[in-house]
Amino acid sequence: MSANVLVPEVGESIVDARVAKWLKKEGDSVTAGEPLVELETDKIDLEVAAPKAGVLSKIAHGDGADVKVGEVLGVIEDEAGAPEAESPQPEAESRKPEAESRQPVAESRQPEAESRKPAAGSRQPEAESRKPAAESRQPEAESRQPEAGRAEPDAAAKKRATPAAKNVAAKNDVDLGKVQGTGDAGRVMRRDVESAVAPSAPAAKPAAAKADARPLTPVREERRHNGDRSEERVRMSKRRATIARRLVEAQSTAAMLTTFNEVDMSAIQSVRERHKQAFKERHGVGLGLTSFFVKAVVGALREFPRINAEIQGDEMVLKHYYDIGIAVGASEGLVVPVLRDADRLSFAQIEGKVREFAKAAEDGTLSLADLRGGTFTITNGGVFGSLLSTPILNPPQVGILGLHAIKDRPVADHGQVVVRPMMYTALTYDHRIVDGAEAVQFLVRVKQLVEDPGALLLE
């Protein structure tokens, strides 16, 4: 009995996906629950497992194909119904009628059994003549054993490699079994595969190997050289294409406006310097800047609730909870995991969750639950050296705070010019429901709370 391998329902907001890589080929045996294919969605990457044991008899959509939720990816047949197992079966079944047709004859000739013994004996060589054919199949089966043996390390490596690492390995023909993993429990990370690709990049692949490779939907076209000028055409990943579409939608549907301010980071740097060692020893994580700004944002949102709202039709939905999205720039594209109930989290809990999000984003192991929802977003371009920017809203949110690099600058302090570590901050808001004065006061309140960390305790 056959079973279809379907594109699973991941979440309400995900309606399509892209086939990143098939882990099995047509004709391969599979076990129930074994990963068959990797899918890319606009938010997460996932593996689709076999719904039953059997043989993958058909692949309906190859690597690189775009598919919808509920669409058939492939078909699994029972072992006995597999194409490879069907060829000997008809021969065996065709002999059954012959054997059954002989049975009445044999019964009718029982009295002559003694006289027919030589005739029965004469058939023995015929049976024996079939033995070499059966024996000749043994070398063929044995010849497959080394191939299966070679697949075991590769399969084991796939199980301990991240989806991003597998994609890079597939594009560059890297054997994951030979890559040393640097992740938890020896897990192979994307950076490990890229390190393995770098020294072997100049090596040319034999033409025979290319001819034997299974044809896939091209993701990357070869570079076309024209003297010193070259071009490379690379297909956007599902996540990158979705990011591009959503950013354009945000600009075309919201009345976005950005207001700026600057924050003196002296007080926070002083607190971090005094307490960073004890904080890390006690909680196991470093005391970063994110937790201070999350606490400051929550305090300011309490005073200006419309910046923690969204528009639905002609109504404003004011949210009295604080799920703060933290933008993370992973190699596969920007993601925004969400700190649930950030107002109830301690500094250590915030820092721990942000660290987990960053690691999971790079490994490709973020879940849909990590990314769903959010009432306000914080993005920090300063970690990449950005001095000033205008962040784009993350719909349906109506506010996003942009943080930037800390730079020593001369500022006036009580009539004196002093050098202070300063950061520019930017608040982009939806002017449809947030007035300019409200946005400016919100950003000023964030500035006040950050410049006086003790005030955060009162919040």
In angstroms, the CA 154 to CA 249 distance is: 42
Q: Which CATH number goes with the domain that contains 59?
A: 2.40.50.100
State whether 298 and 209 are in the same domain: no
Are residues 190 and 248 located together in one domain of the fold? no
**202 and 285 share one domain:** no
Q: Which of 217, 252, 276 is a domain's end point?
A: 217
The crossing angle, in degrees rounded to 10, of helices 266-283 and 436-451 is 60
DSSP H helix total and E strand total for the chain: 13, 20
283 and 171 belong to one structural domain: no
Q: Which helix (H) or strand (E) holds 351?
A: helix 347-363
Arithmetic mean of pLDDT, 243-271:
92
Q: Which residues are catalytic?
A: 431, 435
Cβ–Cβ contacts within 10 Å for residue 224, how many? 10
DSSP state of 230: E
**Residue 28 within any structural domain of the chain:** yes
Position 324 confidence tier, pLDDT thresholds 50, 70, 90 = very high
Q: Half-sphere exposure (CA, 13 Å, Cβ side) for 330?
A: 28
Most confident segment among 58-67, 89-98, 216-225, 413-422: 413-422
- Is pTM beyond 0.75? Reply is no
pLDDT at 290: 94
Domain co-membership, 164 together with 263:
no
Q: Residue 136: helix, strand or coil by DSSP?
A: helix
Number of domains making up the chain: 3
Is residue 119 in some structural domain? no
Residue 126 in domain:
no
Half-sphere exposure of 193 (CA within 13 A, CB side): 25
Q: How far apart are CA 366 and CA 40, in angstroms?
A: 12
Contact call for residues 231 and 224 (beta carbons, < 8 A): yes
The answer to whether the CB of 49 falls within 8 A of the CB of 35 is yes
| Gap between the Cα atoms of 106 and 109, Å rounded | 5
Mean pLDDT of the chain: 78
Are residues 251 and 366 both part of a single domain? yes
Q: Domain of 273?
A: 240-458
Instruction: Look at residue 149 in the predicted model and tell me its pLDDT.
Output: 39
Low-confidence winner among 15-24, 177-186, 222-231, 313-322 (lowest mean pLDDT): 222-231
Q: Are 314 and 416 contained in the same domain?
A: yes
CATH of the domain at 211: 4.10.320.10
Last residue of a domain, one of 107, 126, 160: 107
Query: Residue 228: inside a domain, yes or no?
Result: no
Q: Percent of the chain having pLDDT more than 70?
A: 73
SS3 of residue 97 by DSSP: helix
In a domain, 361, yes or no: yes
- Residue at a domain's end among 180, 202, 217: 217
Is the pLDDT at 303 greater than 90? The verdict is yes
| Rounded alpha-carbon distances, angstroms, from residue 55 to 28, 29, 39, 138 | 6, 4, 20, 21
352: tokens are 């721990």
Residues 6+ apart with CB under 8 A from 165: 176, 179, 188, 189, 190, 192, 193
**What are the phi and psi torsion angles at 172 (to 5°)?**
-115, 10
Q: Is residue 224 part of a domain?
A: no
* Rounded-to-integer distance, Cα 140 and Cα 136, Å: 7
Q: How far is CA 107 from CA 102, 104, 113, in A?
A: 9, 5, 9
245 and 383 fall within a common domain:
yes
Task: Find the range with the poorest average confidence among 12-26, 79-93, 165-179, 234-248.
Answer: 79-93
In a domain, 98, yes or no: yes
Residues 196 and 249 in one domain: no
Least confident of 180-194, 250-264, 369-383, 403-417: 180-194
256 and 339 fall within a common domain: yes
Is the model more confident about 96 or about 77?
77
Residues 281, 187 share a domain:
no
Looking at residue 304, its pLDDT comes to: 97
Tell me whether residue 347 is in a domain. yes
Candidate from 44-48, 198-202, 374-378 with smallest mean pLDDT: 198-202
CATH code of the domain covering residue 306? 3.30.559.10
Specify whether 433 is located in the same domain as 321.
yes
